Amino acid sequence: MSRRDRPRRAAFEQLGPLDTLIPISTGSARLTLENDGSVLLDVNGVPSSHLHPDPEHLVFEYMRWMLLVIDRHLEGFASGGLENSGAAGAGPAIQLAHLGGGGCSLPRAIAARHPRSRQIVAEIDELLAQQVRIWFDLPRSPQLRVRTEDALSALASWREDRFDVLVRDVFAGSLTPPELVTVQAAEHADRVLRDGGIYLANCAAPPGTGLMADEVATLSAVFPYVGVIAEPAHLSGKRRGNCVLLASRRPLPDAIDRDLRSDAVSVRLARTAQVEALARAGRVLGAA
């Protein structure tokens, strides 16, 4: 069903005050209502989330790409192509974890599209986590649990073989905290994923920093299959932008690049040779 054919969703009815600073645990948030009924959430002056009345309509481009990959990945469960998760048929629900929450727009979209999924979000800001659940009428536990905890502490505490999908979308200002881009963090990600699970990471690499290459090299030191979804200018390091890094112990889902061609942005899944070149150019990042 296309978005045009879907029934209209009611606008958010319990929003906080608009266009004003709202105190949260780590500073302040701001809500801006757009003409289409969507709401932009800024956290400490940086755009954090953009939520639409239709939960499956993701405004941030990189979240659309993540959802596309998750959809393809979960198709593998439905077709019986992945084992050891029990996610297909009448088995246990699909388990997803998110490092970083903000307004929880991606978890909200996943819950709407995959209602049998079970998600946990690690969000460091306790007041923000409490407010967004009210403002955006987020699904309740056990469908969506929001846990107030530092992302690395949560990642290190989760037991092995727990999740089918792990998403990293954590920022301090405009950069991912350095402790989350190390080989140790990648090893934890590998540990908590079930066999065939997939790790998705939002990487915002400023031009000239080599951060994307370092992240690819670091993930490649742990996972045998690594991919990059990015616009050409981002992939070449000529322009700052969000790209999505993918890592797994199994080949990445088929047809990702074909699906990306339908996105409004000119974005592609990097060719294997491009990913390998990035890995050779980057450094494997260790803990300080």
pLDDT classification of 92: cutoffs 50, 70, 90: low
Percent of the chain whose predicted confidence (pLDDT) is above 90: 71
Give the β-pairing of 95-99 and 163-168.
parallel
Distances (CA, A) of 85 to 39, 160, 167, 195: 35, 13, 17, 7
pLDDT of res. 232: 82
* Single-letter residue type at 201: A
pLDDT of res. 8: 47
pLDDT of res. 233: 76
**pLDDT, tens only, 1-15:** 444 444 445 579 999
Which of the 8 DSSP states describes residue 231? -
* Mean local confidence (pLDDT), 229-248: 83
pLDDT classification of 83: cutoffs 50, 70, 90: very low
Specify the higher pLDDT residue, 239 or 245: 245
Specify whether the CB–CB gap between 111 and 119 falls below 8 A: yes
Percent of the chain whose predicted confidence (pLDDT) is above 70: 88
pLDDT of res. 87: 44
Specify the higher pLDDT residue, 255 or 163: 163
Average pLDDT, the chain: 88
3-state DSSP assignment of residue 131: helix
3-state DSSP assignment of residue 54: coil
pLDDT classification of 288: cutoffs 50, 70, 90: low
**pLDDT, tens only, 183-202:** 999 999 999 999 999 999 99
pLDDT classification of 91: cutoffs 50, 70, 90: low
Distance between CA 130 and CA 122 in Å, rounded? 13
Distance between CA 59 and CA 40 in Å, rounded? 10
Entry pTM:
0.90
**pLDDT, tens only, 137-147:** 999 989 999 99
pLDDT of res. 78: 61
Distance between CA 16 and CA 25 in Å, rounded? 16
* Fold adopted by 59-281: Rossmann fold (3.40.50)
